[in-house]
Amino acid sequence: PAIATGCGVVVKPADLTPLASIALWRLIERLDVPAGMLNLVIGRPGPIGEVLCSHPAVRLISFTGSTAVGKLLIQQTAPHVKRLALELGGNAPYIVMDDADPVAAADALMPNKFRCGGQTCVCANRIYVHRDIERAFVEAISQRVASLRVGNGLDPQTDIGPLINRAAFEKVARHVGDALERGAVRQVGDDRPPPTADHGAFYSPTVLTNANSQMMLSREETFGPVVAIETFDTEEQAIALANGTPYGLAAYLFTRDTARADRMIRRLSFGHVGLNTGTGPTPEAPFGGMKQSGFGREGGVEGLLEFTELQTVVGS
């Protein structure tokens, strides 16, 4: 959207994943773009961020990342009254009501949860299933997760590649270990040894039942291939569980009752809600969070407007 509105752009990719941006810039170099219009900067985030936050030529910072870093950007830009568009952390609920098809809900969860090994901001983190259909849902999702192949991402037979580094592996293992200590039951998965280096962080796809809101994987974003299932009995309880987080990026609801869907979605404090689908945002629609998941929108006309300034001209 910044390019579409004619803004000059400085892009700082995540320091752990610069290669995709470098490949994109190789393609951009083939285009007839004015010199200095599009710029790629790679390096340590601290010094680069300080310049972007303080330099007067930078009118807006659009950031995708953790809520902790988003709060830091708010602090650093406040003295300069600089505009921000922040897409921050999530803790997405995935609600399966008693009238939903449990098999269809399990099918939809697979690409939602396991895309990029569960390392996306909109993937389901807390799975809430009505008690009446828990058994059918657990059977369906367990069969599918157990069939996933873990291995080299360049192998066409692989379904799940490695997590980004050892720290990511340790976080997921810590969340699963905490859940098991607090009473969760592991239906699928095992304890793989931690990687000895920052590569090869292969974590076993996992399904847990008997999860609850006191567990770390309910309170924090796990960012890994773990399905943690908690049951509920009423619509009111499902809403309370879903909204029981400081984050509000994405949520998912499965029900056949259109009146119930309309009623529940209005009460879900999330910027994106998938109804009977696990799909995330699309470029033509505005996407962004509520609460500590940030502010501002990407995509759609609303995303373009983030990179514009409104000016009123009155003449006589």
Is 116 an annotated catalytic residue?
Answer: no
Pairwise CA distance, residues 156 & 107, whole Å: 21
133, 124 Cβ separation under 8 angstroms = no
Task: Report d(CA 94, CA 305) in Å as an integer.
Answer: 30
Same domain, 179 and 298: no
Same domain? For 156 and 46 the reply is no
- 28 assigned to some structural domain: yes
Could you tell me the two tokens for 177? 């270990």
Asked whether the predicted pLDDT for residue 231 surpasses 90, the reply is: yes
Same domain, 212 and 295: no
Cα 285–chain centre separation:
16
Judge whether 67 lies within some domain: yes
What pLDDT does residue 111 have?
97
Residue 280 pLDDT: 85
For residues 70 and 111, membership in a common domain is answered with no
pLDDT attached to residue 61: 97
pLDDT value at residue 140: 98
**pLDDT mean over 176-182:** 98
* Dist. CA 243–CA 92, nearest whole Å: 10
Residue 87 falls in the annotated catalytic set: yes
Question: At residue 114, does pLDDT exceed 90?
Answer: yes
List strand residue ranges (DSSP E) for the chain, in order: 9-11, 38-40, 60-64, 83-87, 92-96, 124-130, 185-188, 206-209, 226-232, 247-248, 250-254, 272-275, 290-291, 294-295
Q: Could you tell me if residue 4 is inside a domain?
A: no
Q: Could you say which of 7, 50, 53, 87 is catalytic?
A: 87
Total tally of structural domains belonging to the chain: 2
Rounded mean pLDDT, 33-47? 93
CATH number at residue 23: 3.40.605.10
pLDDT exceeds 90 at position 201: yes
pLDDT in tens, 259-307: 999 999 999 999 999 999 999 888 899 999 999 999 999 999 999 999 9
CATH number, domain of 123, equals 3.40.309.10
- One domain, residues 186 and 295: no
Q: Residue 76 has which token pair? A: 């650093």
Query: pLDDT per residue over 50-82, tens digit each?
Result: 999 999 999 999 999 999 999 999 999 999 999
Q: Is residue 281 part of a domain?
A: no
Same-domain check for residues 201 and 238: yes
Task: Based on the fold, state whether residues 155 and 188 are members of the same structural domain.
Answer: yes
pLDDT in the model for residue 281: 87
The length of the chain, given as a count of residues: 316
Domain span including residue 154: 92-275
pLDDT for the residue 245: 98
Residue 310 lies in a domain: no
**Same domain, residue pair 245 and 113:** yes
Strand segments (E) across 201-263: 206-209, 226-232, 247-248, 250-254
| Catalytic one of 50, 116, 121, 230 | 121
